[in-house]
Amino acid sequence: MADGRIVDIGTGLDGDEVVDCTGTTLLPGLIDCHVHVTVSEINVMHRLYRPFSYQFYEAAQNLRRTLEIGITTVRDAAGADLGIKQAVEDGLLPGPRLQISVNAITQTGGHGDGWLPSGHCVPLSLPHPGRPPSLVDGPDEMRRTARTLIRAGAEVLKVCTTGGVLSPGDDPKHSQFTPAELDVLVAEAAMQGRYVMAHAQGTDGIKNAIRVGIRSIEHGMYLDDEAIDLMLQHQTWLVPTLVAPVNVIRAGKAGAALPEVVVRKAEEVAEIHAESVRRAAAAGVRIAMGTDSGVGPHGTNLEELPLMAACGMSPAEVLVATTSSAATLLGYGDELGRIAPGYRADLVVVAGSAYDLDQLAGNVREVWKDGARVVDSGEPTGKTVRA
């Protein structure tokens, strides 16, 4: 390795230092395509009683925990601003590199609108100078908001084209935003070299997103045959986040302050969600790993992998979805997700077989990012080792 990149691969190579990997498996750095690093739990009352700036210190902890299990790159699906991204890049915080969306675009009354029947408004991510508000209605407001988010540093634009599980006032099966509004968003993103990801759970909202050229469907709970065919035709990605409804159900059972309707929705969609992913995988839809961490605890991201395998994906296919496929979705396919000369030296040393997906997180021994050994036996080091 030199200058943070892999120089050569093989045996008997000459290097300044040698790392003994006997009895282990070497993987590329893992990638999670859907996290919320400023969110640590979905207990609304806990969030309400914490100071505004507390979320940024939580983000530091969440980033560290994510890195420790071998995830060296994440796409933040709303919450992280440019300051958090730059703090990681400058070495102020240990963590995976971030691709950020800044905030999620939603319509009035849509998933992401924090309005409650009481009249109070409690959004998941409060706006601040680095995280502009993103509640919009109509093509003109969509255009302005897209431009504002890009100005704030968004590398991808996230939009909610359906309702969701965590928002008590809407239904995951109902679509949000018209094709005309979504067309404007995709055009604005494309003009600035960006793409769009869609929170999309219901069938009609999924199809609306695919038809206008949105790059990835996040969640994809209610996929029918036509939606799957459209994804294949448009080469649309699916980021399943199978563990997300599981974590909502767990939180409800643990006593989190969640409306009964939220837990009920999670219970209703869990098996439907798995069946949709099973059918999409069998049809050959492009799949990349994502967890919606923040809904569940950060550092447990790899729980997603056995769930993907339970949907018919082989362990090898799951690992591809978590490495090279995820890198391609994020636009990093020429420098991340593979162990090859010229690629960034993001590496994970795993004890035993990496195909043991249930035990993968506990088997991580070392994590390297850009040629620096940042985790050694689960402990961050901050030490650069040239090999």
Task: Please give the positions annotated as active site.
Answer: 158, 292
d(CA 283, CA 277): 10
Copy the structure tokens of residue 308: 């993907």
Burial-class residue 183 by CB neighbours within 10 Å (0-12, 13-18, 19+).
middle
Residue 198 forms beta bridges with which residues? 159, 217
Closest CA to 170 of 108, 126, 105, 120: 108
Burial-class residue 338 by CB neighbours within 10 Å (0-12, 13-18, 19+).
middle
In the chain, DSSP finds a helix count (H) and a strand count (E) of 12, 14
Q: Please give the C-alpha separations between residue 213 and each of 112, 147, 189, 230, 342, in angstroms, as whole numbers.
A: 22, 18, 11, 11, 31
DSSP letter for 42, please. -
| ∠ Cα 167 169 171 (to 5°) | 80
Query: Dihedral (C-alpha) 93, 97, 100, 102: value to the nearest 10 degrees?
Result: 0
Q: Which amino acid belongs to residue 19?
A: V
Q: Which amino acid belongs to residue 189?
A: A
Copy the structure tokens of residue 241: 């986040």
DSSP 141-201: HHHHHHHHHHHTT-SSEEEE-B--SS-TTS-TTSB-S-HHHHHHHHHHHHHTT--EEEEE-
Is the CB of residue 171 less than 8 Å from the CB of residue 221? no
Q: Alpha helices of the chain — where are they, by DSSP H?
A: 44-48, 54-68, 82-89, 139-151, 179-191, 203-211, 225-234, 243-253, 260-283, 304-310, 315-321, 324-330
Most distant pair of Cα atoms in the chain: their distance: 68
d(CA 55, CA 265): 27
